[in-house]
């Protein structure tokens, strides 16, 4: 059982380049999330999708866009990468209706923008 | 404004002793709290949770305590084992239309020495 799969695991971008981080879950979860982890900041929510067909901004959405392609997939796009977007990105899913069972996280994408 | 705070960046304990990780929050709307554990190069994994209607929840070696009046929760690990060495994140959830969004603390690095 794969759970939440993120690709790629590592990426180096030049300032101004674009890229899409992919996320897929096989648990039939309704809700999906993108977080970024930075030293001393914990995990901060970028965007989330409460259910298929809906997306909404989180705490730090500037510079990002998302697409909930179907129930399984939720992608995060950086249109013009900046050094401030150097971070570890985590995708997560939740069956919805609360968080009683917690999230299932992917293993992360380590992104460096130079 | 950091709504969930873990003021201790790191904690070091001896194997077999108790580990106590602390977390404070400011938002009175939070009604569910969770702890996640994270190993290097992996995504966080759900450890234990507590509803605001309780003051204690146990799961094996792990116990979470909630003091609503002080807006404080703690995670106790007894006895601590070297395999518990990881980063621990506290997270909080406000029900209603939060769509499962979690607010995370900064994390505490726990090191358990053999």
Instruction: Give the 3-state DSSP-derived string for A43-107, with helices as H, strands as E and coil as C.
Output: EEEEEEECCCCCCEECCCCCCEEEEECCCCEEEEEECCCCHHHCEEEEEEEECCCCCCCCCEECC
**Whether pLDDT at B44 is above 70:** yes
Confidence (pLDDT) at B74: 98
Determine, for residues B102 and A99 on separate chains, whether the beta-carbon distance falls below 8 Å: yes
Confidence (pLDDT) at B2: 81
Confidence class for position B33, pLDDT limits 50, 70, 90:
very high
Residues in chain A: 114
What secondary structure letter does DSSP report for A99? Answer: -
Euclidean distance between CA atoms A103 and A25, whole angstroms: 12
Confidence (pLDDT) at A62: 96
Of the candidates A7, A104, A106, the residue with the CA atom closest to the CA atom of residue B100: A104
β-strand pairing of B10-14 with B108-113: parallel
A contact test, residue of B32, B39, B43 with most A CBs within 10 A: B43
Percent of chain B with pLDDT over 90: 87
How many domains does chain B divide into?
Answer: 1
Q: Which domain holds residue B90?
A: 4-96+103-113
CATH number at residue B17: 2.60.40.10
A54-113 pLDDT per residue, tens: 999 999 999 999 999 899 999 999 999 999 999 999 999 987 666 666 789 999 999 999
Instruction: Provide φ and ψ at B83, rounded to 5°.
Output: -65, -10
Measured between beta carbons, the chain A residues lying within 8 angstroms of B43 are 4, 90, 92, 105-108
């Amino acid at each position: 059982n794969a759970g939440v799969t993120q690709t790629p695991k590592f990426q180096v971008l030049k300032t101004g380049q674009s890229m899409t981080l992919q996320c897929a879950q096989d648990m039939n979860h309704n809700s999906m999330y993108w977080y970024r982890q930075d030293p001393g900041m914990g995990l901060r929510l970028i965007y989330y999708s409460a259910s298929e067909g809906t997306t909404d901004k989180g705490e730090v959405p500037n510079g990002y866009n998302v697409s909930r392609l179907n129930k399984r997939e939720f992608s995060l796009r950086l249109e013009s990468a900046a050094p401030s977007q150097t971070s570890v990105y985590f995708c997560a899913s939740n069956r919805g209706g609360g968080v009683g069972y917690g999230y299932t996280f992917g293993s992360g994408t380590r992104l460096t923008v130079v | 404004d950091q709504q969930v705070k873990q003021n201790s960046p790191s904690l070091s304990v001896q194997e077999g002793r108790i580990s106590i990780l602390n977390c404070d929050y400011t938002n009175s709307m939070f009604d569910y709290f969770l702890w996640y554990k994270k190993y290097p190069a992996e995504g966080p994994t759900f450890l234990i949770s507590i509803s605001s209607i309780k003051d204690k929840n146990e799961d094996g070696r792990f116990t979470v305590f909630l003091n609503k009046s002080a807006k404080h929760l703690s995670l106790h690990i007894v006895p601590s084992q070297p395999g518990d060495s990881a980063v621990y994140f506290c997270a909080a959830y406000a029900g209603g239309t939060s769509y499962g969004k979690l607010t995370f603390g900064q994390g505490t690095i726990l090191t358990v020495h053999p």
